[in-house]
Each structure stands twice: as structure tokens, then as C-alpha cells.
Structure 1
Amino acid sequence: MSAFAGKVAGLTGVPEERLERLAGGDLSEVLLVRRPDGRCSVAKGGPSVGVEAAMLRAIAGAGVPAPMIEGEHEHVLLLEHVPNDRVFSIGAWRSLGAAIAKLHGQTDDNYGWASDYQFGSVALDNRQGGDWPHFWGEQRLVTTARLLDRPWRERVERLAARMEALLPESPRAALLHGDLWSGNILVAENRLAGLIDPACYYGHQEVDLAMLTLFGTPPEPFWESYGPLEAAWEERRSIYQLFPALVHLRLFGSSYAAMVDRLLAAVGG
């Protein structure tokens, strides 16, 4: 196996041959650790173990299911293994809606997070401040597009210059998961079992909802359970979906160019 597997084996005392690669792990190595007493843990690699652990604790502190932290080591995060069946039933969607509403009920005085973070090679500028249009336009869109080809950069920069006219000045700073899609949502027995792989910060709650609808459409019970949405939120959705689309373009290449182009065009960018 890999050097990471060797390190996990050394930390846990579990032989490398008992470590199993888990599905996903596009941006970091993830292993299932089967311990001799029958317990299972998850070992995840990454450069910001302490930051991710703090984010998972923040989610759990909001009363939302998240894996328990079993250990923090250099570049290795050990987590409770959360059994899940991947069946997104109506009950699971309803449970998710209530949990995300509870997560978004946690607020702060500023947007951002105490520490920067990253998706693979994409750095997230989490500097805290009180100007939401600036945070989204500069610290999410412009920063993410900075290493793209010039035509993309210029289109994003022109859009960012219009953020004050397109986004509310000071929406409630809600605790966000930050990467809310089905792959980071664990469900079991018609309920939410846990949220994983967070990229938390405080921001407009519509950011999580926009991400959740980028690759799919939650059914009506999710929205009923989540609660009322702000007026004109669908008009802002493309602006918020543009950030994860830019991240995907950066990380996974030109197959996401059409998505970025469509979202930019939808908001006049």
C-alpha cells in the first residue's frame, strides 16, 4: 500500500493488510481501519487535520450528526466509522432538512472562519470580516479563478465587481458545512447518520443549499423540513453555485468548463 497506509498502521497497530480503501477520497486518501476487537475507524489524510477536526466538532456542537474524533496526528485524522446504507429515502431527506436548518441556526458576528482551508490544491481564503459581497466576490470567486486561464479570470473579476448589486449586504452569518453534496452526507435507516468532509465557515445559508442542488434536486420533504427560504434565493443560486463549479474546473479540468460557462452566463458574467 502507500506511505499513508504505513503511517496509519503504525499509529493504530493494525497491519496494512487489514486496511481498506474507502470509496471517494478524490482529494485525500481515506482508509477503513478494522481493529482486532471488531471496531472500525476511518483514517483520513490531509495537511489540515486540526482544522477539519475543529469543523467536525462545530457541526456536532450544533446538534447535527458528525463522526467523533478519535485522534489527531500529523497529516492523519482518525474518525469514528459511521455505518450508512446510502439510501436517500424520503425520511432521510426530511431528517437532513431538519439537521441543515439546525446547523444554519448557529451564527457568528463575522463571515469566514478562524483558519484558512483548502480543497486539494484550491486554497480557501477564510479571513473573517463583515462585508458579505466582498467575501464572496473576492475571497471565493476571484481567489479560486486566479490560476485559471485569462478569459475565465476576467469574466469572474467582472462579475465580482457587481457583487454589491447582486447579493445582500449583510445576511445572517450561518454556520455552513461548506461542501454539502450527497457524497458528504451519510444516511442510514431513513435518517441522517452524519455529515463528513466539511469545509466550514460562517456565511449566507443559501451557499449550502446552492451546493446541494448543483448535482441533484432534493425532494419536497427536504425543503418542508428545512423551512422557509428567503425571497429571490433562486436568483442568487447561480452565483453561489459558481464557486464549487470553479473549484471543480481547477481540480478536475475542462469537463467542468461548460458548467462554469453556463453559470457565468446566467448571472451576466
Structure 2
Amino acid sequence: MSPLANRAAALLGGAVASTRHFAGGSLSSVEWVRLADGREMLVKSGPAPEVEARMLRTLGEAGVPVPQVLAADDQVLAITRLADDCSLSAAWGDLGAALRRLHAKTAVRYGFADDYAFARLKIVNRCDDDWPRFYAENRLLAAARGTGAPIERRVEALCARLHDRLPKQPRASLLHGDLWSGNVLTFAGRVSGLIDPAAYYGDGEIDIAMLGLFARPSAEFFEAYGPLPAGHHERAPIYALWPALVHLNLFGSGYRGMVEAYLAQAGF
């Protein structure tokens, strides 16, 4: 039996009956586990399982569907497995409504109580009341380091002008923080769960920009979410740039074209 499965079973006071690798989890290991008493769960590793558990609970408290946290410690996270028919195209409207509820939960400052990470890439959530400064220092500049001097210089130039490009104090909405299409589970035309959060409080337009990385939200999504502030089209490439930089930093040169395209769209 795997160490992950055995550790989760011990946290839940049970014994492992069977386990198998579960698809997904590019930055962490994920296993399906059945205990001897019949309980089933997904067990995953990660940079900070207890922080991820708190993030999932925070999202759930905001009224969006998430997996139930069954157990967590500093090495493993055990959650319920949710139904998924991989049909986001039929659930865009429901996702728009769910995201509207999520972003309605707000805080006074930007950031989160806990820092986080994507593998070796640290995600600093130190609270700030200046949104462009928070986004420049804790997201763009941090993710650009190590991507090569040409990209780093262009990102630095953008960040030097960020107070001219982003609102200083947009509503500090609760964000999923890693809302690409693969982290949205759907079933029968509804969102069954949002998974793998990197939650913090910030401008809600970021979650929407991230959705556009590998998918195209439909008109039903935007109708359900509601109107976006003026200028959101101009901000979208700046907000999509952070996850693109993360991909370039962690997964290599195959994502350089994506980063360069967003920088060009932003005028840098």
C-alpha cells in the first residue's frame, strides 16, 4: 500500500482495502482509496495540504461546490470524490453563477492568511491594501524570476506601469486562484466542484482571465456572472500573464509563446 493511502487511513482511523492512481494532479500525486469499512476518497500530496484544506473550506463557505475535506495534515489531504462528466460546455452558465457567489465574499485587504506554492514556486499572500503593488510583487515578478532575462525585463517594465493599468483598490473578492478549466468538475450541466484552489482575495477579473487560458467561456457564463467593469478587456492579458508565467517557470519553454503573446497584448 502507498504511504499516502496509509497516512490518510490513519488520520481517519481506518485501514486501506484498495488504492489506485487517479488521473490528474500535475503538481501533486493523487490516489483513489477505499478503506476496509467501505469509505472512499481521493488522497493527494501537495506543498501545503493543510492550507489547501482551509482554502477548500473557505470556498465552500462562500456557497460554491467543492470536495468535502475528510482529513488533512502536513503531508496528505483526503477529500471526497465528486462526479465529473467532463462537459464544461454544458455548464458555463452554472459556473458563471457560482463564480458570482464566490466573488461576492470580500475582505478588507488583498491576500490570504496563508502563503501557498505551486511545487517549487512560492505564492506569497502577504496582505496589502494596494492591489497593483500586491499583484506586481507577489504574482508577476515572483513568477517571472528564472524565466530568462528577456521575459524578466518585459515583466519588470509592465510592473513599473501597473498603477496606470490596474485599479488601485478594486473589490477584494475571494478568488479560486487557479481557475483553469481542468479545475472545474461538472455533471449533468451543473458545476459539481471547484478543485485545487490557490485561494486569496483580489480582483475577481483574474479568475475569469484564467478561464480563458485553455477554454473560452460562453455567453451564458457572462450572462450568469453579470457585467464586468469597464476596461476589463484591456486588463485581461495582464491577469492571464501570471498563470502563463507560472506554466513557463514550472513546465518549460513550450509556454514561452503564450507569455510573449500576453505581454504583447499588454503593450510590452
- Shorter-chain-normalised TM-score: which range? over 0.9
Distance 1:128 1:88 in 2: 33
Who is 2:82 aligned against?
82
Q: Secondary structure at the match of 1:53?
A: helix
Please list, as runs of the form range in 1=range in 2, the aligned pairs for 1:23-62 lying within 5 A after superposition. 23-62=23-62
Distance 2:4 2:54 in 1: 22
Q: Secondary structure at the match of 1:56?
A: helix
Who is 1:131 aligned against?
130
Runs of 4 or more consecutive aligned structure 1 residues displaced over 6 Å after TM superposition: none
Counterpart residue type for residue 153 of structure 1 = E
Counterpart residue type for residue 72 of structure 2 = E
Q: Secondary structure at the match of 1:208?
A: helix
Of 1-10 and 95-104, deviating more is: 1-10
Superposition TM-score, scaled by structure 1 size: 0.94
Who is 2:156 aligned against?
157
Who is 2:172 aligned against?
173
Distance 1:6 1:62 in 2: 32
Deviations 1:145-175 (A, max 9, x none): 1222122211111110000010011100000
Who is 1:22 aligned against?
22
Q: Secondary structure at the match of 1:256?
A: helix
Who is 2:239 aligned against?
240
Determine what percentage of the aligned residue pairs are the same residue.
49
Aligned length: 266
Superposition TM-score, scaled by structure 2 size: 0.95
Distance 1:74 1:143 in 2: 24
Match status 1:112 vs 2:114: no
Q: Secondary structure at the match of 2:244?
A: helix
Task: Go from structure 1 to structure 2 and tell me whether the alpha carbon gap of 1:236 and 1:72 turns closer, same or farther (over 3 Å shift).
Answer: same
Which structure 2 segments of 5+ residues have no match?
Answer: none
Counterpart residue type for residue 124 of structure 2 = D
CA shift at 1:186, angstroms? 0.9
Counterpart residue type for residue 66 of structure 2 = A
Who is 1:223 aligned against?
222
Who is 1:182 aligned against?
181
Distance 2:188 2:53 in 1: 26
Who is 1:258 aligned against?
257
Of 249-258 and 71-80, deviating more is: 71-80
Who is 1:200 aligned against?
199
Distance 2:25 2:258 in 1: 23
Who is 1:99 aligned against?
98
Distance 2:165 2:139 in 1: 15
CA shift at 1:131, angstroms? 0.3
